[in-house]
Amino acid sequence: MFDLLCIKIGTADNSSWKGNLKENKTFDYLDISNLSKNFEDKTIFKNFNKKIPFGSKVLVTGESGSGKSTLLKMISQEISMDYGEISIVKNGKKIEIPMRYIGFVSQEPFVFNGSIMYNLTLGRDYEEKILKDMLKKVNLEELNLDYLIQNNGENLSGGQKIRLELARVLLRSKSIILVDEVTASLDKKNSKKIRDLIYSLNGVTIIEVAHHIDDESRYDDIITIGKEDWYENH
């Protein structure tokens, strides 16, 4: 069933990473309760409520400038809400969303000058087999771990950068992946490949911001912003 609603995210994993890879990061559902947000004289959310079950694939769509990315920024605590609460319910208990649960994939992924290995690990210690398996999982096996990225990624295609960022997120076992307009700068063929990859993932909750719906069957829920009174109906 499709609802009317709204959503990006970036998060630094500042927690001690050892052990996090084996941590159970599943939860019952993400709970958005009585959420309100205004920018100057414009109401973006007003007493908005939404429950997103773990493992759901959710699309947030709507007009340009309608506030799709605002919800993602509030989930990631990049910006604050005026009123309300965003949390997860785990084992029947409501808790604040641990930032180590959240990963972000954007249309302009940040890459470092250096090897593919460094861009995956960011200096952490992983077994080489795990890294190679991850490249295969995101269809980047054409790049070996020693491949050098130059000039902020000018020797990578847009699709390769997105796959690399997705691999980085998956390597850290994020259970909520926020996807912000990742295919906006890609052609139709590569856009489909990236979406096919993202929506083939199991055991994660995906919340994607996009202007257009390419295939409704991909999503468990579609949240659309665009009408001034949309928030009054939810």
Residue boundaries of the structural domains of the chain: 3-233
pLDDT at residue 22 in the model: 53
The Cα–Cα gap between 33 and 49 comes to 5
Whether pLDDT at 225 is above 50: yes
Give the residue-averaged pLDDT of 205-228. 82
Give the residue-averaged pLDDT of 56-84. 88
The Cα–Cα gap between 191 and 218 comes to 14
The Cα–Cα gap between 73 and 179 comes to 11
- Read off the pTM: 0.82
pLDDT category of residue 1 using cuts at 50, 70 and 90: very low
pLDDT at residue 215 in the model: 81
Give the residue-averaged pLDDT of 40-67. 87
CB 31 within 8 A of CB 85: yes
Higher pLDDT pick, 233 / 199: 199
Whether pLDDT at 8 is above 50: no
Whether pLDDT at 5 is above 60: no
CATH of 3-233 given 3.40.50.300, 3.40.250.10, 1.10.10.60, 3.40.1190.20: 3.40.50.300
Whether pLDDT at 71 is above 50: yes
Residue recorded with tokens 């902020």: 152
pLDDT at residue 11 in the model: 32
